[in-house]
Amino acid sequence: MDELIQRAAQLLAQARQAVALTGAGLSTPSGIPDFRSQDTGLWENYDPMEIATFQAFRRRPVEFFNWIRPLARRMFMAQPNAAHLALAELKNAGVVKHIITQNIDGLQQRAGASDVIELHGDIYTGTCVNCYAIFHSRQFQAEFIESDYVPHCPECGGIIKPNVILFGEALPVRALMAAKRAVAECDVLLIAGSSLEVAPASDLPMLARSHQARVIIINQGSTYLDDFCDLLIQFDVALALPAIAAACLRRRIQSDQTT
């Protein structure tokens, strides 16, 4: 494992422009369940096509909010883990130029990283489905979490939909284009905690490979890219990423001292 850590640190330290792509596995150490893990995944007891589509939200909003309420509660209470902090440290040091995330929990920003590209939206804002007014979740958080309250717009009475991307919805155009630009320009793509099963995020590594960028995968489960990446670390991201960040930053310091 130490050899893999050092190789990852070297690739990042030597990168001209490294980009990170993160998924649900980055936040599971913070107590937030992913979607597919047996016994603990969010889809274990729900059919996503019945509960997490925009059409289902419009037809049965109470069922949708009953499903998302326990998840939102965990996200509001969760704290960034060592993997979030390590990535934020790498970004703030200029090693990683962009962080692209599939997560909606905002933990990467709370760990200290700015300008995170959120492909699947976030749980902290919502939009009225009638008048499109935008609200911050803190306006409704207490009632929403502690009761069966469905948030309604104080202006027009429409239901406020959390700004998370549901099945059948298009990804935010600006976020998707920013992610594609970042990956198209990178020479190292660090994938952390993503199973790479959800498109179009899962297509980004192939965009990186198309221009010979090096690809590092840190994930406990398997991905379609395992046999084609430059470095595969099947280990806990909360342990691997801090070790990689520390080794990478040491290399950067040593390099600066010799120049």
Q: Which residues are catalytic?
A: 120
Structure tokens belonging to residue 188? 């190292």
Give the Cα-Cα-Cα angle 136, 140, 145 (nearest 5 degrees). 120
Q: Is 35 exposed, middle or buried (0-12, 13-18, 19+ CB in 10 A)?
A: middle
Residue 141's region, left for phi above 0, alpha for psi from -120 to 50, else beta, is: alpha
- Which of 219, 208, 211, 255 lies closest to 10 in space, CA to CA? 255
Number of alpha carbons in the 13 Å side-chain half-sphere of residue 32: 26
Residue 114's region, left for phi above 0, alpha for psi from -120 to 50, else beta, is: beta
* Paired sense of beta strands 117-118 and 18-22, if any: unpaired
